[in-house]
Amino acid sequence: MPPKTSARLLSLLSLLQARRDWPGQLLAERLEVSPRTVRRDVDRLRELGYPIAAAKGPDGGYRLDAGTDLPPLLFDDDQAVALAVALQTAAGTGAGIEEAAARALNTVRQVMPARLRHRIDALRVTAVERAGAPARPQADPQVLMALSGAVRAREVLRFDYAGAAADAAARRAEPHHLVTWGGRWYLVAWDLDRADWRTFRADRITPRTPTGPRFPPRELPGGDVAAFVAARFRGSQGPEGWPCRGEVILDLPAAAVSRYAGDGVVEELGPDRCRLVLGAWSWPGLAATIGKFDADIEVVGPPELTRAFAHLARRYARAATGSGASPGHGEGVQADEELL
């Protein structure tokens, strides 16, 4: 029996949220309906406020685009639990969003089915600061959005900066990178008045409007933002201090990654994408540490890290099938030694 219209609409919405583009014929097959029914259901979702774009032609399909208003969202059970856990740990991001995260968690919990509410209520996450560590000032989320927008637009940023003397001074800079280090947010920029690179704490920045003209990007010294930031913080281990150091791109927000990145450097690349530079004592150890992030991973380098991921993939595949050590177990030990 085909599903009722309401259930079918929810299934269609779930599919549209799962991937960027869907061919119309494939959607029809997944929903077990005709392409004409898919078109009618898409029109119904549009009436509810979902901005769904359609491409015409034999290879045409559908895409859920961003709109001016936030329509109702649909999460599966695992996504809902992951969202609740992320909201509970928001205090550790340094982005000053604790109150908003608490309100969002309460909103999500109210609409959860009982089976999920029980799972969430049983999982209470408390952020505990390291003993003796000074309290970290929280960056204003609106400031972070303004800085991120200026970085992406390549527009000169005018802002007041409260330095160590707490006297705010007017600054003009070309913003290049928004990064996190040790739970704090920093802006890496070319200071136009001092004609030099500077690292500004985001919690001390008060942006001015409007922004200045667009600028051609300069090349960061060394070409590596992680190495540049690490060099600014002497006395910290940093990724530069480890014998094995790698760089990856994760399909996760920078704020979510920075909570668990330790002494790594996280650079925001977009709302749901960031660059992570991290160090470890061995290449397999580094690959395993990066693998704890539940996201797609793009290895930027070096080749040793790529080989370490491949090595762990083979080992995990054997463990998943219960086959244990392979006939080439000795080769695996040798590979471990080479990757150290």
- Tell me the pLDDT tens digit for each residue of 36-78: 888 888 888 888 777 888 877 666 788 877 654 555 666 677 7
Q: What is the pLDDT of residue 331?
A: 42
Q: How many CA atoms lie within 13 A of 116 on its CB side?
A: 18
* 34: three-class secondary structure by DSSP: coil
Question: Among candidates 244, 150, 157, 153, which has minimal Cα distance to 193?
Answer: 157
132 dihedral zone (left: phi>0; alpha: psi -120 to 50; beta): left
Q: What is the pLDDT of residue 340?
A: 40
Q: How many residues does the chain have?
A: 340
- CA 280, CA 275: separation in Å to the nearest integer? 17
Q: What is the pLDDT of residue 98?
A: 66
Extract the residue ranges of the chain whose pLDDT is less than 70: 1-5, 18, 57-59, 66-75, 85, 88-100, 107, 110-111, 119-138, 163-168, 182, 231-241, 323-340
Q: What is the pLDDT of residue 243?
A: 74
- What amino acid is encoded at 290 in this protein? I
Which structural domains are found in the chain, ordered by start?
Answer: 5-64 (1.10.10.10), 77-122 (no CATH), 141-218 (2.30.30), 239-339 (3.30.70)
- CA 97, CA 38: separation in Å to the nearest integer? 39
In the chain the beta strands, taken as DSSP E runs, fall at 22-23, 52-54, 61-64, 157-162, 168-181, 184-191, 196-201, 205-207, 244-250, 265-270, 273-280, 297-301
Q: What is the pLDDT of residue 132?
A: 47
Q: What is the pLDDT of residue 93?
A: 58
Task: Write the DSSP string, 96-160.
Answer: S-HHHHHHHHHHHHHTS-HHHHHHHHH------PPTTPPPPPPPPHHHHHHHHHHHHHTB-EEEE
This prediction has a pTM of 0.43
93-129 confidence digits (pLDDT tens) = 555 566 667 777 776 776 677 777 776 666 555 454 5
- What amino acid is encoded at 181 in this protein? W
Q: What tokens does 110 get?
A: 């109210």
Q: What is the pLDDT of residue 96?
A: 59
Q: What is the pLDDT of residue 235?
A: 41
